[in-house]
Structure 1
Amino acid sequence: MFVDKAKIYVKGGDGGDGLVSFRRELYVPEGGPAGGDGGNGGNVIFRVDEGLRTLMDFRYQKHFKADRGEKGRNKSQHGANAEHMIVRVPPGTVVVDDDTGEKIADLTRHDQQVVIAKGGRGGRGNIRFKSSVNTAPAIAENGEEGQARWVTLELKVMADVGLVGFPSVGKSTLLSVVSGAQPKIGAYHFTTITPNLGVVDLGDERSFVMADLPGLIEGAHTGVGLGHEFLRHVERTRIIVHVVDMSGMEGRDPFEDWVKINDELKLYNIKLADRPQIVAANKMDMPDSEENLAEFRKNVGEIAPDILIMPISSLTREGIKELLYRVADLLDSLPEPSEIEEIEKQAKAEEGVVYRYESKGDLDFTITRDNETFVIESENIERLMRKTQFNSYEAVVRFGRILRGAGIDEALRKRGAKDGSPIRIGKFEFEFFEGGSDDYLYDDK
């Protein structure tokens, strides 16, 4: 089964918690802090495997979670970092954030890889909090949570040549004749509902990959029929071979068919209008095909005089060899695809935006009211809370000191907070104390 779209959940591993520990050695009383840092969580990494052709594996497994880092150890030992999770994907896979619709990565070449969900950093152990003022801190941090997101995978077939055209014009038959591919062939529309790939070997040390793509109908750029399920695959091809039925057996005009298909390509992606195209005038063994071809050449010549039109018959194999050599010559004349380099440059440029997990900057915050409760919203403060071990008195005091230093106490007073007013930050609730003590009552909900 060919699967070219999947939605999956990925989550980086959580960081390991830091440890509160003290040196306990013979003849060394009050030896000082010795709690190590937690290890970093593993990243979820997508890596291209050229041996894969579909997204079938993601039909059955939809959750990918990397391991968390180990907790910090005593004797100032760092917890082990978790191994990264490697997820293999076929070349041509586009990764899109399902919530924002932002394209995260475009994976096109073997062994190319990108971090899709970053693991959390390990929490600091109490050895990190030692200072001249506090020589025996009982403070450590929780590990950060790993990044979690739903992503959509879309596979765009990687092929040198794409066969396009209305249903039942002979694309599948042509592919079966020129390669070892065995596509499903039938005398009805939409026999081909998924792309078929075949390798064409010319015998002169030249070969190329040809894709038989599902048939188009008018309105496909808006999703009518197979619509986008077809059009996404055309974007990857270097050359378009436009197969047109010259027999007109189904009552369609070959020229109108050609115009409609090109319009659909342009409406979907204007860049496809500049893609090199060869017209394969198929079914030339049928009655009236010669007359239709002459009229077709005349009409096409008036709007696209430079386009190459080659008469063929997939049934009798007339003109097939000439068509393949012209395709190979055209491929040789084209520059190597530069899209991969552009994609890699874009990925590097966007890396700080798309894959950044650690937030920076001051503790910016907003305060709103939910009935009697004051709600503080701040990504950085919530991140700090997740790292704070609230079962430690010293950690709670430190957390309160940081909030006061950020001006939150003063802002709450200006908004009308009184002694005992409920304060909510994320899933935690506190009580506000007017006296400015270091004591914060808290309740993890």
Structure 2
Amino acid sequence: MVWLTRFLSGTMKFRKVRKHLRGTLIDSTRLHCIGGGGGNGFPKYGGVGGQGGCVYCIGEENVNLKSVILNYPSKTIAAKHGENSVKKKIIGSPGEDTIIPVPLGITIYSEHVPIGEINEVGDTCILARGGPGGSKTNEFLGREGQARTVVLDLKLIADVGFVGFPNAGKSTLLKALSRAKPRIAAYPFTTIMPNLGTIIFPDFRQITLADLPGLIEGAHINIGMGHKFLKHVERTKLLLLVADVQGFQLTPRHIMRSCFETVLLLNRELELYNPELLSKPAMLVINKMDTENANELFIETKEKLKNAKEFAHVLTDDLRPTEFLEFEDILGISAINNGDDVKSLKNTIRTLLDLNEEEKSNEEIIDGIRDRIREKGPALS
């Protein structure tokens, strides 16, 4: 009764949601799309009704899914109907299309089946087709447009994706490498939404970084941030695993994992989610080298990773990877204290990205030559 009195009198104070918990990144939304109906024909003169408009999306820069939701708060999007055929206008005009600008990196699903992707500026995908206009073939009756519910699912497109358990120092590293200002604190799960940053070099080369929410054991089956995090790794060009040199323990009830075990567990989660991720270029950053006995632990971890399969027995069969990541480089750094470490890491990231892009280009050239040889067929003797 006292609570109700305080509420009605307006004296009760509600605690505001903390700013960092108000997620600003929306990476999935559901829309109901309806294509325009076709216009009716004119049987007497053989007139044809106008085609109904389509609903489709187009890739644009500087757009996000939040703007899509704000522009269409009801989440129902319809195109215009086609015009009827009339005596003065035998062929009806088509209905106007509805065009939805969406960010790059979108995959469109209908009933859990992918129907298209938007990866480049100008890419389009029809979400709902307009109905055909009335003509002799359909008794001059315009047909209804297609109606279906689609899901727009965003997978961040970044050059480098940070992968690590909570509190490994990923956000600190992002801040050190770029001008991003992620929330940083000395407890797990500070990052609850992806943070993006950009390394800008003196020659104006730019490399985008994605600091993603920390994994926990079982992420591949959607425990913790689960798939909400892992899906963003798929579009990155380079995996950057970040591990605490002292190891990791989520809570006192969990087992304390060494740095080596942490790397294997991250490897396993990526493998179980999508084995193809293990073929991506990857490097390992062992962070917090300013802590006690860090050098000894770093050397021990690095030596074990050279023969990871041999030392992997420290984990049980269900936690042990079957395929192991091959790291392009392993660096020990102190993201919070050592500027030289950060500068060296920046240059290493750039070098690895350039080398892998060069290899990819060479493979495409070789594949192109092979295709041309096949087209010409065997040479006559």
Distance 1:171 1:146 in 2: 48
Q: Does 1:324 align with 2:346?
A: yes
SS of 2:85 mapped into structure 1: coil
Aligned residue among 253, 261, 274 for 1:256: 261
Indicate conservation of the 8 Å contact 1:34/1:75, yes or no.
no
Task: Report the alpha carbon displacement of residue 233 of structure 1 after superposing the two structures with TM.
Answer: 0.1
SS of equivalent to 2:357: coil
CA distance 1:221–1:240, shift in 2 (3 Å): same
CA RMSD in angstroms, aligned pairs only: 2.1
1:114 aligns to what?
125
Whether the aligned pair in 1 keeps the contact of 2:328 and 2:352 (CA below 8 Å) is no
Quickly say closer, same or farther: Cα 1:63–1:258, change in 2 above 3 A.
Answer: same
Quote the residue 1:289 is aligned against: 294
> If the length of structure 1 is used for normalisation, what is the TM-score?
0.67
Q: In the TM superposition, what is the alpha-carbon distance from 1:205 to its structure 2 partner?
A: 3.4
**Structure 2 unaligned regions, length at least 5:** 1-23, 250-255, 309-324, 365-381
Which ranges in structure 1 are unaligned for 5 or more consecutive residues? 21-32, 130-138, 342-445
Q: Contact 1:92 / 1:156 at 8 angstroms: preserved in 2?
A: yes
Alpha-carbon displacement from aligned partner over 1:68-117 (angstroms, at most 9, x marks no partner): 1011111462111111110111101110012xx21101111111112121
* Paired amino acid for 1:197: L
3-state SS in 2 of match to 1:335: helix
Cα 1:171/1:53, change in 2 over 3 Å: farther
1-side partners of 2:81 and 2:134: how far apart? Answer: 12
Contact 1:16/1:122 (<8 A) preserved: yes
Does residue 36 of structure 2 align to residue 13 of structure 1? Answer: yes
In the other structure, the counterpart of 2:47 is 36
Residue 204 of structure 2 aligns with which residue?
205
Name 1:180's counterpart in structure 2: 179
Say which one has the larger Rg. Answer: 1
**Residues 39 and 51, structure 2, Cα contact 8 Å, conserved in 1:** yes
Q: Distance in 1 between matches of 2:293 and 2:277?
A: 31
Shift of residue 58, structure 1, vs aligned partner: 2.5
Q: Contact 1:184 / 1:191 at 8 angstroms: preserved in 2?
A: yes
Contact 1:206 1:328 in 2 (8 A): no
After superposition, the C-alpha distances for 1:175-198 in whole angstroms (9 at most, x for unaligned) are: 111112111222222111111111
**Runs ≥4 in structure 1, deviation > 4 angstroms?**
304-307
Q: Does 1:149 align with 2:162?
A: no
Aligned residue identity for 2:231: R
1:81 matched residue in structure 2: 94
Q: CA, structure 1 residues 306+249, in 2 after alignment: closer, same or farther (shift >3 Å)?
A: closer
How far does the alpha carbon of each residue in 1:324-383 deviate from its partner, in whole angstroms, 9 at most, with x for none?
111101111123779xx9xxxxxxxxxxxxxxxxxxxxxxxxxxxxxxxxxxxxxxxxxx
Structure-2 residue corresponding to 1:361: none
After superposition, the C-alpha distances for 1:259-292 in whole angstroms (9 at most, x for unaligned) are 0011100111111111111111111111121121
Structure 1 segment 185-264 matched on structure 2, within 5 A: 185-248=184-247, 250=249, 251-264=256-269
Look up the equivalent residue of 1:172 and give its one-letter code.
S
Deviations 1:24-60 (A, max 9, x none): xxxxxxxxx3252110100111101111244453373
Alpha-carbon distance in 1 for matches of 2:331, 2:75: 46
Aligned residues of 2:282 and 2:327 also touching (Cα < 8 A): no
d(CA) in 2 for partners of 1:272 and 1:227? 15
